Amino acid sequence: MRTRLMATVAVASVLALVTTGIAFALDQTNGTGRTHNNATIGFNAKLALEGQITYVTHDSTRWWVQCDEVTSYRNLKPLADGSLRTKVTASCDDRERNPLWAEFYFVDRGEPGTRDIIRAFFTYDPAWAMDANGDPDVWLTQCNMGHEITEGCMDSGVIRRGNVQIHQEAGSMETVVSRF
Contact present, 143 and 154 (Cβ < 8 Å): yes
| pLDDT by position in tens, the chain (length 180) | 555 544 444 444 433 333 444 444 589 999 999 999 999 999 999 999 999 999 999 999 999 999 999 999 999 999 999 999 999 999 999 999 999 999 999 999 999 889 999 999 999 999 999 999 999 999 999 999 999 999 999 999 999 999 999 999 876 665 677 776
DSSP percent split of the chain into helix, strand, coil, nearest 5: 20, 45, 35
Contact present, 45 and 28 (Cβ < 8 Å): yes
Rg (CA), the chain: 19
φ, ψ dihedrals at 4, nearest 5°: -65, -40
Q: What is the pLDDT of residue 7?
A: 45
Q: Work out the angle at residue 68's Cα, subtended by the Cα atoms of residues 56 and 177, and round it to the nearest 5 degrees.
A: 120
For the entire predicted model, the pTM comes to 0.83
Cβ-proximal residues to 157 (8 Å cutoff; 6+ apart), any chain:
35, 36, 37, 117, 118, 119
Residue type at 22?
I
Domain boundaries, the chain: 2-178
List C-alpha distances in Å: 148 to 62, 123, 124, 151: 9, 13, 13, 9
